[in-house]
Amino acid sequence: MRKLISYRKEIIIGIIPVLLSFIIYMGFPVGILVMGAIMLGVLFMMSRRGGLAMGAAGKKVKARKPSYLTFDDIGGQENPKRELREALDFIVNQQKIQSLGIRPLKGILLTGPPGTGKTLLAKAAAQHTDSAFVAASGSEFVEMYVGVGAGRIRDLFKEARELAVKQKRNSAIIFIDEIDGIGGKRDGGQHREYDQTLNQLLTEMDGVQGDENVRVLLVAATNRKELLDPALLRPGRFDRHIQVDLPDKGGREAILRLHARNKPLHPDVSLVKVAEETFSFSGAQLESLMNEAAIYAMRDESEVLTAAHLTLAIDKVMMGERMDRETTREERERVAIHELGHAIMAESVRPGSVAQVSLTPRGQALGYVRHHPQQDQYLYTKTVLEEQIKIALGGAVAEELHYGGRSTGSRGDFEQATNIVRTLIESGMSDLGIIHPEALTQEQWSRENGVILDELIKQTRLLLGSHMNTFKQLLQLLISEETLSGDQLRTQMKRVAA
């Protein structure tokens, strides 16, 4: 076979010079012919790679079979799971839906922060309804050539129906992740390819008729719902909008238990405590936490995961990997004073809130204080916001009390404090009262920000000034140990106070 192919190549190579000689003899413009041949070759190669719409739509979006996954395999997210089950009833209970005269849903939009399980919910939906499943990403439809994305949308819906027929199923679910890549608001500009792709998607959704042999449901996910075109969001297109938020404490514990099923845990490990210390963690971060804890156990040649491994994993997910940075004695002492300022301030206004004080460099931080909320909190009063500001200012104020000045290590703290001040002002809790943020000039913002921070710095300075003996007792201990637990900190503070 190889000899035959080689023989054919030799014949073609031999014919080309003869053909060119004949063209020159006949007087044809060789330059134009060569350019035409090059262009045809380029177009042929692009069509082979799927860069240009040839035939139907060039490169097709391939179906992806989901791994077997049920709603029980997804930790937490009880509300989204319940809403999604109810929305899927039109596929599971078709006769009941028809008897009540309910129009079948055409689309379900899952919205929420990254890593909260939107893709997992879509896969579980396919298993729940026993539907054929086709998945794609919004970026797969974006091309610089007009018509390619629209063609791929047509192919996607066609492929879903054909797959359902092949699998002898009467329904199909199409999942498009990051749909904002093709469903963004149309601004009337020159982005014809984006507009045509979106228009084709809208047409396909409108074409899903209730009397078809295969019912097609479009499930899409995005973390930027505000960017989507209104035509997508209206009833009759995406009929259900399901919010998939960060898990609460109970949800975090359920997720941790799911990811701990194949990991040997020490009997002293409390996943309830870990759930308390991981406020605002997403499901993806919790999975990473358990994986990192197992890696730390492997490094220590331990057969089980201990509480210390989980603590290190929490720090890594929150702050980043430990860095090998060499610091001078003076820098180390200043960092210790700075972090103790945060920790002592936190314990003064919110007793029991400090989980750990560390001088271990992680990410961009030379040291850090890890807090754990005693309960999940979503609403904040003026008192709570002012306490957060004072905790953020504690590091800089501690440096002032001990060294007479600040360092560049306070830059992030000041940014955090000013952001909280902005929240306080926009919530109508400042002396300005209830006012629209855009009604304030930059000068008014700066003046009110300065008034609030100056008062809170005074309060922070007075409170930390009364704990100078506590700083002295804890400074050498923190420098020598590098890490203090919240219990150690509280014990020392009580001992000095006594």
At residue 31, the pLDDT reads 61
Identity of the amino acid at 98? Q
* Residue of 97, 91, 129, 84 whose CA lies nearest to 220: 84
Q: Which tens digit of pLDDT belongs to each residue from 97-128?
A: 778 787 777 889 999 888 888 888 888 888 88
* Angular region, 164: left φ>0, alpha ψ -120 to 50, beta rest: alpha
How far apart are alpha carbons 473 and 492 in whole angstroms?
8
DSSP 372-419: --SS------HHHHHHHHHHHHHHHHHHHHHHSS--GGGHHHHHHHHH
Q: Kindly give the residue spans of alpha helices, DSSP state H, lying in 28-185.
A: 30-49, 78-87, 89-92, 94-99, 118-129, 148-166
Q: Give the residue numbers annotated as catalytic, written as ranges.
A: 339
Helices 442-465/382-403 angle, 10° precision: 70
β-pair partners for 133 = 173
Q: How far apart are CA 235 and CA 279, in angstroms?
A: 35
Quick one: the chain helix, strand, coil %, rounded to 5? Answer: 60, 10, 30
The predicted structure's pLDDT at residue 211? 44
Cα separation, 457 vs 463, whole angstroms = 10
- Tokens 């509480």 belong to 307
How high is the pLDDT of residue 13?
A: 55
CA distances (Å), 132 to each of 211, 214, 218, 372, in order? 18, 10, 12, 44
* Planar angle of CA 475, 476, 481, nearest 5 degrees: 105
Q: State the pLDDT at residue 169.
A: 85
What pLDDT sits at residue 71?
84
* Secondary structure class of 371 (helix, strand, coil): strand
**Exposed (0-12), middle (13-18) or buried (19+): which is 4, by Cβ within 10 Å?**
exposed
pTM over 0.75: no
Q: How many helices (H) and strands (E) does the chain have?
A: 19, 8
Rounded Cα distance, 295 and 313, in Å: 9
195-253 residue pLDDT tens: 788 888 888 888 754 446 788 888 898 988 888 888 888 888 888 899 998 888 888 99
Q: Are 143 and 271 in contact (CB under 8 A)?
A: no
pLDDT value of position 50: 40
Helix (H) or strand (E) holding 475: helix 468-481
Instruction: Give the residues of the chain that fall short of pLDDT 70.
Output: 1-68, 142-147, 187-194, 208-212, 324-327, 363, 373-377, 498
Q: How many C-beta atoms surround the C-beta of residue 74 within 10 A? A: 21
Please tell me the distance from the alpha carbon of residue 324 to that of residue 336, in angstroms, as a whole number: 17
Closest CA to 231 of 250, 267, 206, 259: 206
Pairing of strands 483-485, 132-137: unpaired
- Give the pLDDT of residue 291: 94
Reduced to 3 states, what is the DSSP secondary structure of residue 498? coil
Give Cβ neighbours of residue 353 (< 8 Å, ≥ 6 apart). 346, 347, 371, 372, 373, 374, 486
Pairing assessment for the beta strands 483-485 and 354-358 based on DSSP bridges: antiparallel
pLDDT value of position 116: 87
pLDDT at 188: 60
Domains in the chain, ordered, with CATH?
12-39 (no CATH), 71-243 (3.40.50.300), 249-319 (1.10.8.60), 329-497 (1.20.58.760)
Which is it for strands 483-485 and 368-371: parallel, antiparallel or unpaired?
Answer: unpaired
Q: Collapsing DSSP states into helix, strand and coil, what is residue 276?
A: helix
At residue 370's C-alpha, the angle toward residues 368 and 371, to 5°, is 140
Render 233-266 in DSSP notation, one character per residue: HSTTTS-EEEE-----HHHHHHHHHHHTTTS-B-
